[in-house]
Amino acid sequence: MAIGATVRRLFGPHERTVAGLYRGLFVDVGRLSSLIREWMPQAEKILEVGCGEGAVTEQLARLYPNADIMAIDITPRVGRLFNGNRDRVQFVETTIQAVAATKPGQFDLIILSDVLHHVPIALREELLTAVHSTLAPEGRLFFKDWERRFTPIHWLGYASDRWITGDRIHYLRKQEAAELIAGTFGPDSIIAEARVRPWNNNFAFLVQQ
């Protein structure tokens, strides 16, 4: 059972701060966002898939002040903690498959950050295929996930993901993620890769269409 939403409500007006501090234990969201900007300096239409409550979306809105941003998630809490200008940012509770059907080839930057380990293994290829068909011909996917490693921080991350979110999570090795992406996007589609502080478990790929 997921205990996250119940526990977090107890923090009342401090929930946003606590959520940010908690996320910062595992990944430096500021560094993650500046890496996106370094790899993709220009983007006009951005889609964030699995945006959660909007922590990364908030950084995207700041770093791409002229872009239109669509941020989607399957949770009804989509975008709930976003604190920024919503004029150019649209949060929608929907699936990437639905977006792929209505807006094929429309986004020049898609972000998929810490989502794939929440998606059942049997459904990952279908999700990536939908991402692929939603990207514009010269578009880029920024993919980020957490690599499985047998270290204390990994087990802490696993426990919090498993019991706070309630999802049946399954982390990949970096190589497994690369193979999955190559299977959908093509053998030479990963054009850059990096680790993101503070833990080497955090890895990111820039993927071309």
Ligand X SMILES: C[S@@+](CC[C@H](N)C(=O)[O-])C[C@H]1O[C@@H](n2cnc3c(N)ncnc32)[C@H](O)[C@@H]1O
Between residue 88 and residue 107, which ones bind ligand X under the rule CB under 6 A?
95-96
201 near ligand X, rule: CB under 6 A: no
79 near ligand X, rule: CB under 6 A: no
- Candidate ranges 7-15, 69-77, 178-186, 194-202; the one touching ligand X (CB under 6 A): 69-77
Report the distance separating Cα 71 and Cα 48, nearest Å: 5
How many C-alpha atoms does 101 have within 13 Å on its Cβ side? 6
The answer to whether 99 and 77 have CB atoms below 8 angstroms apart is: no
Report the distance separating Cα 59 and Cα 152, nearest Å: 29
Phi-psi region of 186 (alpha: psi -120 to 50; beta: other; left: phi over 0): left
The answer to whether 70 and 95 have CB atoms below 8 angstroms apart is: no
51 near ligand X, rule: CB under 6 A: yes
Site size for ligand X (CB under 6 A): 17
Which one among 19, 119, 172, 196 touches ligand X, defined by CB under 6 A?
119
**Residue 187 beta carbon to ligand X: minimum distance, rounded to whole angstroms:** 25
Which residues bind to ligand X, rule: CB under 6 A? 49-52, 55-56, 73-75, 95-96, 113-115, 118-119, 127
